[in-house]
Amino acid sequence: MDHNPDLTSSELAAIWSSYMGDSLNVCVMKHFLKTVADEEIKEVIQFSKSLSEKHLDTLRSIFEKENIPIPQGYSDSDVNELAPKLFSDIFYLRYLQMMGRNGAQLNGTVLGTTYRDDIREFYTGTTSESVQLYNKVVDLMKAKGVLIRSPYIAYNSERKFVDDPTFFVGHFMKKKRPLLAVEITHLANNIEMNYVGRTLVDGFAQVVHSKEIREHMQEGYILANEIINTLEKFLKMEHISTPVSPDSNLSNSTVAPFSEKLMLGVNTMLSAISIGSLGLGVGASVRSDLITEYAQLIVRVGRFSVDTGNIAIKHRWLEKPPQLVDREKLQNTDKK
């Protein structure tokens, strides 16, 4: 039996997306490494960069073996290694924490849609490595006293069962039932993640040359701020402290550390992470008002992502992912 047949559509999509993401990460980590001051944080940045470089080597060999063109992705030309520092050292940790957390979730999900031995082996490894990165970052944040935790709530003193149908209702009720622990989890996670995204697009807006892209980054800042405010109101109504990021200060640099293509690529990545995280909030929430807010925010982030894509298309920066052959077009083509 052939244990290495052709790649399935899910496997092809996975390795293409991984190549794009890892090539982007190498570029981002290069700037972080050039500008970080703290040696312990530098070690974690180097760990993340080394993981992505190893992944790229494996992915290139798979593309070559299958005679599939290697994506262009991102390269040294997308990094200005002479650019001054734009973000703080602690922000580098916040960014890496987000990437480790989402990498573990995404790679674990991808693993469930891979079948070929070499592809499953690759994503088993990337899932484990994302967990390692997350744990390294969290341990270091704890040691430095900068770890932002989910809110604490009192333990239950006894088992309870739901006896009121309004348990599921959030709309049109003057007094809503208290939030569940799982609902608080996803509210806090989405708030924290949008603090990171907001800082990124704020920094990009400060250094980008193109007026069109600068205004797009500013729109991203406004959107991230509105997501934070929308979700924080649910916690504030319950007198729950909201996660805050006190290290989002930017330097006064106006020199772009990355190409405009890469900065738009980061925007696309942030939108995908945000939609996925908001979607998890929908699935985990029971109160109808929460579900509605999440759904509306997903639509807004989706629109922002489309705007990002249209700008990239305009500049011929958007690389096309693997796609099904257009059978109708082939059938209607004049034959020689």
- CA 53 distance to own-chain centroid: 19
Domains and CATH numbers, the chain: 1-147 (1.20.1260.10), 167-326 (1.20.1260.10)
What average pLDDT does range 205-214 have in this prediction? Answer: 98
pLDDT number for residue 257: 98
Range from 72-81, 96-105, 238-247 carrying the lowest mean pLDDT: 238-247
Q: How many CA atoms lie within 13 A of 110 on its CB side?
A: 27
Closest C-alpha to 189, from 157, 217, 226, 149: 149
Contact of 151 with 234, CB cutoff 8 Å? no
**Confidence at residue 261, expressed as pLDDT on a 0 to 100 scale:** 98
> What average pLDDT does range 175-203 have in this prediction?
94
DSSP state of 70: P
The pLDDT value given to residue 128 = 98
Does the pLDDT of residue 103 top 60, yes or no? yes
Q: What is the pLDDT of residues 268-313, one digit of tens each?
A: 999 999 999 999 999 999 999 999 999 999 999 999 999 999 999 9
* CA torsion, ordered 36, 40, 41, 42, to nearest 10 deg: 50
Instruction: Read off the tokens for 283.
Output: 């699935």
Query: Which string of DSSP letters, residue by residue, matches 76-87?
Result: GGGB-TTPPP-S
DSSP assignments along 253-282, one per residue = --S-SB-HHHHHHHHHHHHHHHHHHHHHHH
**What's the rounded Cα separation, in Å, for the pair 169 and 160?**
18
Report whether pLDDT(246) > 70: no
Query: Is the confidence at residue 43, as pLDDT, over 90?
Result: yes
Range of lowest pLDDT (3-7, 29-33, 198-202): 3-7
Average pLDDT for 68-87: 96
Residues in the chain: 336
- Which DSSP string do the residues of 44-64 spell out, in sequence order? HHHHHHHHHHHHHHHHHHHHH
Dump pLDDT digits (tens) for 105-131: 999 999 999 999 999 999 999 999 999
The confidence score (pLDDT) of residue 42 equals: 98
CB 313 within 8 A of CB 307: no
Q: What is the pTM of this model?
A: 0.92
Q: Is the pLDDT of residue 170 over 90?
A: no
pLDDT tier, 7 (very low <50, low <70, confident <90, very high otherwise)? very high
Residue 304 CA to residue 288 CA, distance in Å, equals: 25
